[in-house]
């Protein structure tokens, strides 16, 4: 009976004698396909980013315009009230040096 | 890697970074033998070698900006190839049980010779021995398999394996020890079952 430690080395040593005669050159068209895929993939990443960035900017602008229009009356009245700060406003009370 | 020593790798990489498709094609052609050798040595079952090679090259192009030149470029690509093979092996969760009945006549003869030590493995059975080794390696965990493959079959030094895999030298030794112990256990089981 073989020593258990020697079985694997013997088998591996026999396996190493097997020559691999398979061709190691790239199959026809492989490098062209891979190079094209690599650059196409990069381009897709960039164009997706560009497209989503522009779309996001348009949506954000539209929302800003809509919200301004919807609340226009509130804004205009608030601007009108700015000049008539009352005494119960803490900030105006603190800044009122005349009294 | 191809034997073409005149290949200007640095210049080619620079042109690839400038998105020169012809340079990218030349780089793939130049590195294909290196990559295919790694794939064939560690090819997971049921995975086409060309598909795996394509994955490896696409990863190489995607990560090209990360390459700082700290190691030679072929070593860097080897590492991508090895880790991709390990990932593929990990993805195949189930490992088939190793049975005498699944071996070819030649493989069974080789295993018999190894187990009984009555005959030496004949030179003509080298191919069967290699197939048998791969079937036995299929029984190991992917990381352990990789270490034994590189250490015993390809006879690479531990320092080089550490460089290729990114594992520390002590981890490589631990994995080799664990894998060989598992193989010994497997041989004992096969001895117990005996050839049908």
CA distance linking residue A15 with residue B33, whole number of Å? 21
End-to-end CA distance of chain A: 112
In CATH, the number for domain B1-94 is 1.10.1740.10
pLDDT at A1: 43
Nearest to B153 among A7, A12, A37 (CB): A12
ipTM: 0.76
The token pair that represents A66 in the structure block: 């809509």
Inter-chain touch B53–A30, beta carbons under 8 Å: yes
Inter-chain touch A38–B62, beta carbons under 8 Å: yes
Q: For B98, phi and psi rounded to 5 degrees?
A: -90, 120
Is A31 in CB contact (< 8 Å) with chain B? yes
Provide the pLDDT confidence category of residue B100 given band limits of 50, 70 and 90: confident
Is B59's pLDDT higher than 60? Answer: yes
For B165-188, what is the mean pLDDT?
91
B121-168 confidence digits (pLDDT tens): 676 778 888 888 888 888 888 889 889 989 998 899 999 999 888 899
The token pair that represents A38 in the structure block: 């690599």
Question: CA of B149: which chain A residue's CA is closest?
Answer: A12
Inter-chain touch B152–A8, beta carbons under 8 Å: yes
Would the pTM of this model clear 0.80, i.e. be above it? no
Inter-chain touch B129–A18, beta carbons under 8 Å: yes
Inter-chain touch B129–A31, beta carbons under 8 Å: no
- d(CA A15, nearest CA chain B) in Å: 4
Sequential DSSP letters for B31-98:
HHHHHHHHHHHHPPTT--HHHHHHHHHHHHHHTGGG--SSS-HHHHHHHHHHHHHHHHHHH--PPPPP
Contacts of B34 (CB under 8 A, 6+ apart): B1, B74, B77, B78, B81
Q: Which residue has the higher pLDDT, B92 or B41?
A: B41
Provide the pLDDT confidence category of residue A2 given band limits of 50, 70 and 90: very low
CA distance linking residue B76 with residue B90, whole number of Å? 21
In CATH, the number for domain B95-196 is 1.10.10.10
Output the CA torsion B102→B105→B110→B116 (10° steps): 90
Q: Which residue has the higher pLDDT, A43 or B126?
A: B126
- Asked if A10 and A2 touch (Cβ cutoff 8 Å), the reply is yes
- Asked if B167 and B175 touch (Cβ cutoff 8 Å), the reply is yes
Domain-by-domain residue ranges, chain B?
Answer: 1-94, 95-196
């Amino acid at each position: 009976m073989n020593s258990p430690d020697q079985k694997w080395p013997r088998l591996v040593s026999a396996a190493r004698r097997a020559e691999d005669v398979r061709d190691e050159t790239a199959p026809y068209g492989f490098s062209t396909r891979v190079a094209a895929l690599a650059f196409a993939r990069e381009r897709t990443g960039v164009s997706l980013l560009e497209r989503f960035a522009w779309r996001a900017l348009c949506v954000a602008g539209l929302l800003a315009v809509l919200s301004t229009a919807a609340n226009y009356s509130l804004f205009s009245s608030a601007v009108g009230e700015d000049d008539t700060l009352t005494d119960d406003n803490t900030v105006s009370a603190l800044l009122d040096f005349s009294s | 890697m191809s034997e073409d020593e005149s290949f200007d790798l640095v210049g080619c990489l620079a042109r690839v970074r400038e998105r020169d498709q012809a340079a990218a094609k030349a780089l793939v052609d130049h590195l294909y033998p290196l990559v295919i050798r790694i794939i064939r040595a560690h090819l997971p079952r049921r995975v086409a070698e060309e598909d795996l090679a394509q994955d490896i090259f696409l990863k190489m192009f995607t990560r090209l900006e990360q390459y700082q030149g700290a190691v030679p470029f072929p070593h860097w690509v080897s590492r991508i190839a090895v880790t991709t093979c390990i990932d593929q092996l990990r993805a195949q969760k189930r490992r088939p049980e190793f049975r005498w009945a699944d071996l070819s006549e030649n493989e069974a003869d080789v295993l018999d010779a190894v187990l009984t030590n009555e005959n030496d493995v004949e030179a003509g059975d080298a191919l069967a021995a290699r197939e048998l080794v791969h079937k036995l390696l299929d029984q190991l965990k992917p990381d352990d398999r990789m270490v034994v493959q590189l250490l015993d079959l390809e006879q690479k030094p531990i320092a080089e394996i550490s460089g290729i895999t990114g594992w520390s030298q002590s981890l490589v030794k631990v994995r080799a020890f664990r894998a060989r112990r598992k193989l010994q256990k497997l041989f004992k089981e096969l001895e117990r079952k005996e050839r049908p």
